[in-house]
Amino acid sequence: MTKTGTILVVDDNKAILTAAKMLLESLFARVITISNPNIILQTLHDNPIDVVLLDMNFHAGINSGNEGLFWLSEIKKTDSTLQVILFTAYADIDLAVRGIKEGATDFVVKPWNNEKLLETVSSALRMKTEQNSGQTTESDTEIVSKDSGMFWGESKAMQDLRKLIIKVAKTDANILITGENGTGKEMLAREIQLLSNRKNKPIVSVDMGAITETLFESELFGHVKGAFTDARNDHEGKFEAANGGTLFLDEIGNLSYHLQAKLLTALQRRSIVRVGSNTPIPVDVRIVSATNRDLKQMVANEEFREDLLYRINTIHVEIPPLRERPEDIIPLSYIFIKKYSSTYDKHDLKISLEAGEKLKQQPWFGNIRELEHTIEKAVIITDGTTLSANDFDFPEHVEKTSSNENTTLEEMEYNMIRQAMEKFDGNLSLVANQLGISRQTLYNKIKRYKL
């Protein structure tokens, strides 16, 4: 392999500098190491540097990471195109995430894995080379929208989220996505995959709340032939299926405490053991998790393992509810109008001003999913080319009440059905099963409550 480029390694530990240099000389034409951060700028001035590997702390007893962030800022002022990778201890990952927000390309945790370090710096060198040759011509907006179903909208909250996702998607950091039902957590997970270095590898989705305890290990880790009664063949689990790519753990807050320990073990060891086997199988997966629950509160209630939360929560992003970004409601509505106009052969549909105002005034407790269902019903109902306010028939939303307030049986039933429909994305068979009623009874109640 032809060695190209120059990397600068900055760390006050000379043993680390020696080890890093020996490893990186297999990739770079030149490796420069310095132990004093005060000569960073002079070194950059005197040498054509492509990549900087920068420690976060330089003085014994000081672990704030502020030194690393300061020098990151100084380096980016000197040359904004320089690729800076942060060196950090596992306990300081939060600082590294902050560094990514402030312009770092990626981070590497000490003690490092040689293969992981080489892969990270190689990716950074490739990005720098493309910048120098002018090959990277797409703007951030184009990168995000290309081959993606993600709708970012115009609201400040979503644009801020978009900027963060562009930065963190390129890393291998585990990401926790939170937000209310229907906000698009799985779609965001797939957007992260598209923007990552793993985009050519699979993304495998698992509904953690739908897996029973007896099938958990078989589904996630696989099994060998004869492991149990119906195990007639070897079976590849979700971890193996996602190897090299992304494993999306949806509704992770619904995973039982007992099973959380088994998941944690696989994440810590970076390997799995199939049911009925004793042979560890190494796996390389990036974990993206999602939940609508408050995991920190669950930790406080001893319902969720704190050590597992640290593992999946390297970077936390929250999707704001639709009612907090009303400027996105009409553009989203037209996306769904286009979709269902084609489905139901009703073209050139528009939304009247009155109908638009009505849509913007709704609380949208079901968020984007509820808006989509609402638009679909309106497209079906309308006889004209303009969706009027009368085409949108909203039930009265029942506000959540505290335990000391009176709630009618009808309000409780309405909330239970709506929540179940949101949870199972409108799958009426699953909703009926969850509520313990027949499909016909469910149909009648949906009609009654205009859900």
Predicted local confidence at residue 359, as pLDDT: 93
Distance CA 67, CA 276 (A): 50
Q: Of the candidates 297, 318, 339, which is a domain's last residue?
A: 318
Each as own residue / partner, the long-range contacts of residues 300-309 (CB below 8 Å, 24 or more positions apart, any chain) are 302/257, 303/257, 304/253, 304/257, 304/260, 305/257, 305/260, 305/261, 305/264, 307/264, 308/260, 308/261, 308/263, 308/264, 308/267
Q: Is residue 162 part of a domain?
A: no
On whether residue 147 sits in a domain, the answer given is: no
CATH of the domain at 375: 1.10.8.60
Residues 90, 212, single domain; the answer is no
For residue 190, the domain's CATH number is 3.40.50.300
Could you give the CA distance from residue 187 to residue 177 in angstroms, rounded to a whole number? 11
Q: Do 103 and 42 share a structural domain? A: yes
Closest CA to 51 of 137, 119, 141: 119
Enter the pTM of the model: 0.63
Strand 51-55 and strand 83-89: the pairing is: parallel
Quote the CA–CA distance of 234 and 212 in Å, as a whole number: 20
We report the CATH number of the domain holding residue 93 as 3.40.50.2300
Residue 402 forms part of a structural domain? no
Residue 211 DSSP code: S
| Domain match, 193 and 124 both | no
Out of 341, 358, 391, pick the residue that ends a domain.
391
Q: Can you list the positions of beta strands (E) in 118-196?
A: 175-178
Q: Are residues 108 and 30 in the same domain?
A: yes
DSSP letters of 3-19? ---EEEEE-S-HHHHHH
pLDDT of residue 77: 87
Q: Give the separation between CA 111 and CA 109, rounded to whole angstroms.
A: 6
Q: Are 41 and 80 in the same domain? A: yes
318: Cα separation from own chain's centroid: 9
Tell me how long the chain is.
451
Residue 141 lies in a domain: no
Asked whether residue 146 is domain-assigned, the answer is: no
Q: Are strands 106-110 and 83-89 parallel, antiparallel or unpaired?
A: parallel
Residue 112 shares a structural domain with residue 43 = yes
Give CA separation, 81 vs 24, 78, 99, 391, in Å. 21, 9, 15, 52
- Considering the domain architecture, whether residues 192 and 307 belong to the same structural domain is answered as yes
Is 151 within a domain?
no
Burial class (CB in 10 A: 0-12, 13-18, 19+), 395: exposed
| Number of domains the chain contains | 4
Residue 143 counted as domain residue: no
The last residue of a domain, from among 342, 358, 391 = 391
Residue-wise DSSP of 415-428:
HHHHHHHHHTTT-H
Residue 422 sits in a domain of what CATH number? 1.10.10
Q: Which residues contact 101 (CB under 8 A, 6 or more apart)?
A: 164, 167
Examine the domain organization and report whether 346 and 298 are in the same domain.
Answer: no
Cα of 19 vs its chain's centroid, Å: 34
Same domain for 188 and 284, yes or no, is yes
Taking only Cα atoms into account, the Rg of the chain, rounded to an integer number of angstroms, comes to 26
Which pLDDT score is estimated for 102?
80
pLDDT tens digits, the chain, 451 residues: what are they? Answer: 678 899 999 998 899 999 999 999 999 999 999 999 999 999 998 899 999 999 987 764 445 567 888 899 899 888 888 899 988 875 566 677 778 778 888 888 888 888 888 888 888 888 787 766 554 434 333 334 344 578 888 788 898 899 899 889 988 899 999 999 889 999 999 999 999 989 999 999 999 878 888 889 889 999 888 877 777 888 889 999 999 999 999 999 989 898 999 999 999 999 999 989 999 999 999 999 999 989 999 999 999 999 999 999 989 999 999 999 998 999 899 889 988 998 999 888 899 999 999 999 999 988 999 999 999 999 998 988 899 998 887 765 544 444 444 456 777 888 888 888 888 777 777 777 778 777 667 767 776 776 6
Q: Which two tokens stand for residue 331?
A: 């553009």
255 found inside a domain: yes
3-state SS class at 178: strand
| Pair (233, 119) in one structural domain | no
Helix (H, G, I), strand (E, B) or coil at 292: coil
C-alpha distances (whole Å) from 213 to each of 216, 220, 254 are 5, 11, 12
Distance of alpha carbon 450 from alpha carbon 366, whole angstroms: 14
Same domain, 171 and 307: yes
Indicate if 328 and 314 belong to the same structural domain.
no
Strand runs labelled E in 285-435: 286-291, 315-318, 350-351, 386-387
The domain of 230 spans 167-318
